[in-house]
Amino acid sequence: MVSQVVPGRLPAPRKGATPLRQTIAIGLVFGILGLYLGIVGILAMINARWIIVDVLTLGQAALLAIGLGAGAFVASRSKERAYLTIAWRGLVAGAIAGGVVTVLVAAMDVINLRVIFISLSPELFDILTFHLGLAGGAAILVVGGGALGMLGGLLALSAPIVRRPVIIGFSAVIFFGVFEELIQIMLQWGDVIGAMRDFLFDYDGLLLQGAILIFLVAAGLAAGAAALRRRGVEFSAIIPPPQRQYLGLMKALFAVLILVLFPIVAGSYIGQVLMLVGLYILMGMGLNLEVGLAGLLDLGFVAFFAVGAYTTALLTADSPHALASYTAIPTLSYWAAMPIAVFMSVVVGVIFGLPVLGVRGDYLAVATLGLGEIVRVIVQSDFAAPLLAGAQGILQIPKPRIFSFELSDPVDLFYLTLAASAVAAYCAWRLENSRLGRAWMALRDDEDVAQALGVNLVKVKLLAYGLGAAFAGLAGSIFAVMLTSVYPSSFQLLISINVLALVIVGGMGSLPGVIVGSAALVGLPELLREFGEYRYLFYGVALIVMMRIKPEGLWPSQTRLRELHADDEISEEELAALERTGGGAVAMAPASEVRKPDE
C-alpha cells in the first residue's frame, strides 16, 4: 500500500555537478592536501629522506603524487572516456592543485606565518619553490602541476596492460627507497647478494641505476604476471575440479613456505614486527567472532588480552608476585600455563558478558568500554597490588622452552605465534561454518527474529564473549613471554580500538580480512617508526580514505559484500523512480515496491 504524501514536501531531485565544477573541486581538494602536508610539517620532515639519492626526495615525490593524483581522480570520476577531454580536465585539476600550494608560498613570502604555524619555515619555502624563488617556484608548481595532472589522467585512462606495469614499477621504486635500510639488512647473504646490494644502494639510499633496474624488473614482472594470469584463466577452464583444488593447495603451500622462510632471511626486527602482527591477528579473530559474526560491539576487548598475560605471568614468573612464591602452586612451564591462561580468559569473557546481555547497539559499546576500564583500574589499584603488583608489574617471566631449546629470539617467538594463529584460524573457520556461527549471524542481523526462530540469545551471546576472549587470552599469553614482563600500561583502551579498526578495515566477518587488516594497520606503522608521530597521521588518513572508498573492507566476506551491493542496487532503483516521477508517491514506497519501467 503506497502512502499518500504532500508533493510540496518532497525534495527536488539533485542534479550532478558539471564536469568543470567537478574538475575544479578535485583540484582544490588535492591542493588543500598539499597545504596540509606543508602546514603540519610532514613535507619538510619527509623531504630529508631520499627516494633516489641526489635525484628525488620523499617530499618531492609527495608533491608529484598530488599532481598525478588530481589527474587520476578526475579520470576515475569522469563519465567521458575521450583522451582529449581527460587531458584538459587533468591539466586544469593539476594546475589548480599547484595554484593552491602557490598561494601558501606567496603568503609565506609576504607574511611571517611561523607565529601561527611553526612548520612554515624557510626550509619549507625552499622546498616548495625548488630553490628558485617565488616567481620560479610558482611557475613550476602551476605549470608542472598541470602537466602532472594531464599525465595522471591519461595514465588512469590507458589500458591495464600499460597502466599496471607503470604503477607497479614506480611503486616498487618508492618501496625500495623508503625501506632501503631494512632491505640492505636483508641483503647480507654471500658475495653475490652483497654485490647486488652495492649496485642498488649506497650509504644514503637507493642509487639511480638501482632505481632504473628495480622499475624495469617490477614492470616486467607485472606485465608477465598479467599475461600468465590471462593464460591461467584459460588453462583453469579446462582443468577438472579435483585438480583445481590441488592447484589451490599448491599456491597455499607456497605462500606458507615464503612466510616461514622470510623471517630467517629478514632478521630479528622483521621477525619482531611479524610477531606483533600475529598477536593482533589472534585478537582480531577473537573480536571478529563478537563483532563480525555476532554483531556484539566490544570496546573492552583488551581486558581478555590482559587476563591471558597476567595469568601466564603469575604461573610462570620467577618473581615475589608469582603464585609459587606464597602458595603451594608450583611454578609452571609456559606450555602448562598457556591453556590455563586461555581458560581464565574464557571465564572472564563469560562473566564480562553477563551484565550486558540485554544491552544493544551503541549502548553495548559504552557498557563494554566501562567494563574494560573497570578491569584496568582494578589491576592498577592498591587492593590488587599484593597479587598483581600494581603499576610495578610482574617481571622475570621466562621464555618458552622446547626441551633444551629456548625460544628467546623474536624469530623463534614468531613461529610460536604463527602456529598459534594457524590453530586459532582453523577453529574460527570451523566456528563460522557451524550451527553456532549461523546463530551468531542471525543474532547480528536481528535479535528479535533470531529469538523467534529458536536461538537462545543468552547462550549464544555468552559463547561469543567466551570464545572471543579465548583468542585474546592466547595472544596475551604469548605477549607476556615476548616482553618477559607485564605492566598495566600495556593494556590501554587503544588496543581495543586498534583491533576493532583492523577488523573493520580488513572486512567484518572475514578471516582473511583480519590478516590483511593486521598487516595494513599494525605491520606498516611499525615499519614506518622512523617517521615518528607523523605515522599516526598517515594511519588516520588511511582509515578515512578506506571508509570512503571501500567500506566493505580490503578482503570482505561474501555475505557482507552481497549485503552492501544489494543496498546499492536498491538505492539506484529508488533514485531512478524519483527521477521518473519527479517525486510523489513512489518516494514513500518501500524499496521492495519500487518497480522498473518494464514491470
Note the pTM of the prediction, 2 decimals.
Answer: 0.82
Q: How far apart are the first and last CA of the chain?
A: 17
Residue 561 has pLDDT above 90, yes or no: no
CA distance 43 to 98: 15
58 and 159 fall within a common domain:
yes
User: pLDDT digits over 262-286, tens only?
Assistant: 888 888 888 899 999 999 999 999 9
Q: Would you call 507 helix, strand, or coil by DSSP? A: coil
Q: Are residues 335 and 398 in contact, defined by beta-carbon separation less than 8 angstroms?
A: no
Q: Are 25 and 91 in contact (CB under 8 A)?
A: no
Query: Do 537 and 581 lie in a common domain?
Result: no
Q: Tell me what pLDDT residue 233 has.
A: 64
What's the pLDDT score for residue 404? 87
- Domain extent for 569: 560-599
Phi, psi of 138 (to 5 degrees): -65, -40
CB atoms within 10 A of CB 194: 12
The cell for 30 is 588535492
Rounded to whole angstroms, the Cα distance separating 114 from 123 reads 12
> What does each C-alpha distance from 371 to 158, 349, 376, 533 come to in angstroms?
54, 11, 9, 30
296: alpha, beta or left, given left = phi > 0 and alpha = psi -120 to 50? beta
> Which of 203, 236, 269 finishes a domain?
236
Residue 595 and residue 469 share a domain: no
Whether residue 511 is found in the same domain as residue 580: no
pLDDT tens-digit series, residues 224-261? 988 877 776 666 666 676 666 777 778 778 888 888 88
Burial string for 541-567 (b: 16+ CB within 10 Å, else e) reads: eeeeebeeeeebbbbbbebbbeeeeee
Q: Of the candidates 236, 270, 298, which is a domain's last residue?
A: 236
Residue 577 domain-assigned?
yes
In a domain, 497, yes or no: yes
Within a domain: residue 252? no
Candidate from 50-59, 121-130, 231-240, 309-318 with smallest mean pLDDT: 231-240
pLDDT of residue 593: 38
Residues 541 and 37: their CA atoms lie apart, in Å, by: 12
Greater confidence, 215 or 179? 215
Establish if 243 belongs to a structural domain: no
- Residue 242 covered by a domain: no
Separation between Cα atoms, residue 542 and residue 352, nearest integer Å = 33
Asked whether residue 371 falls in the same domain as residue 480, the answer is yes
224 and 282 in a single domain? The answer is no
- Do residue 579 and residue 552 come from a single domain? no
Query: Which three cell numbers, joined as nine digits, stand for 550?
Result: 571501500
pLDDT at 16: 56
Tell me: do 300 and 421 sit in the same domain. yes
Percent of the residues in the chain that have a pLDDT greater than 70, as a whole number? 88
C-alpha grid cell for residue 165?
A: 606495469
C-alpha–C-alpha distance, residues 25 and 189, integer Å: 51
Q: pLDDT tens across 469-527, in order?
A: 999 999 999 999 999 999 998 999 989 999 999 999 998 889 999 999 999 889 888 88
Give yes or no: residues 168 and 283 share one domain: no
Beta bridge partners of 486: 394
Same domain, 55 and 117: yes
What backbone torsions phi and psi does residue 51 show, to the nearest 5 degrees?
A: -90, -50
CB atoms within 10 A of CB 184: 18
Residue count (the chain): 599
Provide the grid cell at 414: 614468531
Beta bridge partners of 406: 401
Domain count for the chain: 3
Joined grid coordinates for residue 417: 605465534
Same domain for 426 and 291, yes or no, is yes
Question: In 3-state terms, what secondary structure has residue 184?
Answer: helix
3-state secondary structure of 405: strand
Q: Kindly tell me the sign of the dihedral angle through the C-alpha atoms of 103, 107, 109, 114.
A: negative
pLDDT at 509 (0 to 100):
87
Per-residue pLDDT of 189-209, as tens digits, reads 777 888 888 899 988 889 999
Instruction: Determine the Cα–Cα distance for residues 487 and 14; give it in Å rounded to an integer.
Output: 56
Considering only 430-439, 483-492, 531-540, which range has the smallest mean pLDDT? 531-540
Task: Please answer whether residues 145 and 92 qualify as being in contact, where contact means their C-beta atoms are separated by less than 8 angstroms.
Answer: no
C-alpha cell at 530: 622512523
Asked if residues 49 and 178 have their Cβ atoms less than 8 Å apart, the reply is: yes
**2 occurs within a structural domain:** no
Residues 167 and 151 in one domain: yes
